[in-house]
Amino acid sequence: MSIRVAYQGERGAFSERAARRLAGDDIETVPCHSFEEMFESVGNDDADCCVAPIENSLAGSIHRNYDLLLESNLTIAGETNLRIVHNLIAPPDVELAQIRRVYSHPVALAQCTQFLRTNRTMAPEAVHDTAGAVRMVMDRGRNDEAAIASDESAGIYGARILARGIEDNAQNYTRFLLLKDPARALKVGDTGRWKTSLVFRVANKPGSLFRALGAFAIFEIDLSKIESRPVEGRPWEYAFYLDLVGRSDEAPISRALANLSEMAEMVKVLGTYPSRW
């Protein structure tokens, strides 16, 4: 039986491509309207796992998914970094000079500002999803509208690519996490490069964060990312998300986690998982 993988967006979304890279081509995809619905689909057993974008190399972190990850009981089973290539897509009989309005996700529009600035006759319009923008443009059937999305979405909805690679910066990558229920077995290939992610909270006292991070410095553990998020109901206090290079069962990391647990108010390991490019 195929694995059911939920993602935010519609058929042809970048998240769907990430899902296939992480879980294989023989999967059943479960499109969701929102990140909240995506997380809930795993908890409700409507999906076996989900794929969540967590950060973009240009736009930064996707904070809502950090918060949802902490609120849920899902664990990280894998990650991949997907090159994001944006394309201008329209109905088959529409020419570039006819376009007057362009639809896409707000982040995608922001990543194509140079193209839109050059083509000033095209007014950008934000919608909830890149692939959904292509579907909407095709459903409307107008000769003056286009969407910005993946090349796959053009094929799925029978549209035409008018301009390829219109993003401002070619170094445009999104990091996606494969999330699952801890009790569910899910095989992910060993890439040889492992990471461990965790979240912790320390007392709001001078030097507490310095001492907490010192637990990793002592054992020379490579911290690949640190992110802070506000603690709900505790103004100006923060939870800290860390990505470590290595497995949690390696002696240096397990000792560092033990040290951190002694001084932190809360420590939650979000997962130890293979990293795939």
Side-chain-side CA neighbours of 78 within 13 Å: the count stands at: 23
Domain coordinates of the chain in residue numbers? 3-84+173-180, 87-163, 194-276
User: So what's the pLDDT on residue 201?
Assistant: 95
Task: Convert the pLDDT of each residue in 177-199 to its tens digit.
Answer: 999 998 877 777 677 899 999 99
- The residues facing 272 across adjacent strands are 196
User: So what's the pLDDT on residue 72?
Assistant: 93
Note the pTM of the prediction, 2 decimals. 0.92
Residue range 3-84+173-180 forms a domain whose CATH class is alpha beta
Tell me if the domain spanning 87-163 has CATH number 3.40.190.10.
Answer: yes
Distances (CA, A) of 128 to 137, 225, 271: 13, 28, 29
User: So what's the pLDDT on residue 202?
Assistant: 94
User: So what's the pLDDT on residue 68?
Assistant: 95
User: So what's the pLDDT on residue 42?
Assistant: 95
Say if CB 134 and CB 157 are below 8 A apart: yes
User: So what's the pLDDT on residue 187?
Assistant: 74
Task: Give 263: exposed, middle or buried? Use CB within 10 Å, 0-12, 13-18, 19+.
Answer: middle
CATH topology of domain 194-276: Alpha-Beta Plaits (3.30.70)
Packing angle, helices 208-218 and 251-263, rounded to 10: 160
Say if CB 180 and CB 77 are below 8 A apart: yes
Same fold, 3-84+173-180 and 87-163: yes
Residue in 253, 254, 223 with CA at minimum distance from that of residue 240: 223
Q: Which residues are catalytic?
A: 174, 176
User: So what's the pLDDT on residue 34?
Assistant: 94
Q: Which residues of the chain have pLDDT under 70?
A: 1, 189
